[in-house]
Amino acid sequence: MARISETRALEAVERALELAPIIDGHNDWAWETRLTRGGTVEGLEGPLAGDTDVLRLRRGRVGGQFWSVFVEDESRGSDHVAQTLEQIDWVHRVAEAYPEDFLLARSAADVETARATGRVASFLGAEGAHSLDDSPAVLRMLAALGVRYLTLTHNRNSAWADSATDERRHGGLSERGREMVRELNRLGVLVDLSHVSPETMHAALDITDSPVIFSHSSCRALTDHPRNVPDDVLVRLAGNGGVIMIAFVPQFVDHEYRHWFDGDRLDAPPVVPMSRVADHIEHARETAGVRHIGLGGDFDGTDEFPEGLSGVDCYPDLLAELARRGWSAADLAALAGGNVLRVLRATDARFAGARTPTALPR
């Protein structure tokens, strides 16, 4: 597409944000605050040293955020459950401490309520099935507390799913893993396929009856990183109805940076322009379709970001880069939040339904 003028690009961004809010799939502010501020909810207005604060969320026109309630996966056991609950508690406390800025959200309708009152709809996403200690009962209780997605692994394999960055153990999903995907579907908790191996991606797509998401991944065809999504998976999103939310992580979007990151890092890191992220978004649109793309920046989840994407205030700048490439307001709105809203609406009724136990043990 031919590039358009700056004035027309900014007009397209404004029209897009009238049609749909920006909803990001993954932000690690809870974990960053746990590490650097002892889990306090005081003094979050900003400016803060990290990637996220209240001031920059407003500048970035963020209307919805999936806050990752991540905990490390070095070990196994019930400690992970307690730590995940502490992360959930932090998000709840933030919403209580800043009632004019945040609204705890469980549904697409809550996004509209938050938007009408000028707040950020705050969803919960659990990153890694180690958070469950392999217990469907814990999964049901996390859903009851508002967790809207579960990433099937983190960097290590979970008890029943293979990670993209670990040795093959389950052939994608074990039988227990397939049962857990069905339980996620039943509960209306979104299956998040970021961090999992391609074999796991395909296995989950084979059995899920609901749209899946990739909360923070990019495209393997452009950057050959194990955390990225191959094209043969992307093309399946159209049939599934799911969404890939493109991450801004430099080693995911730029080959030279990935080579530096995996090396000795003695030299200064290469500069990664914002255009690399835009390239991944465009590739995902071309491969999966415009109804299957979104934004999953992974702010506060890595140390560096591309030039021009230094924090949560930068989303409109990325939309403007795409608008300059000729993207319509409607397509920008789909990317910004319209597509993930569709996925939420498709699963909201189940999420709001009964959480009675199934035959799954524990």
Q: Which residues are catalytic?
A: 26, 28, 127, 154, 195, 216, 298
In DSSP notation, 51-93 reads S--HHHHHHTTEEEEEEE-----SS-STHHHHHHHHHHHHHHH
| Pair of tokens at residue 275 | 């255009």
| Pair of tokens at residue 171 | 């052939």
* φ/ψ of residue 104, rounded to 5: -60, 130
* Strand locations in the chain (E): 22-27, 62-68, 102-104, 120-127, 147-151, 190-192, 213-217, 243-246, 293-295
Say if residues 297 and 24 touch (Cβ distance below 8 Å). Answer: yes
Q: Distance between CA 310 and CA 336 in Å, rounded?
A: 18
Q: Distance between CA 301 and CA 286 in Å, rounded?
A: 27
Q: Which residues fall within 8 angstroms of residue 178, CB to CB, at 6 or more apart?
A: 203, 207
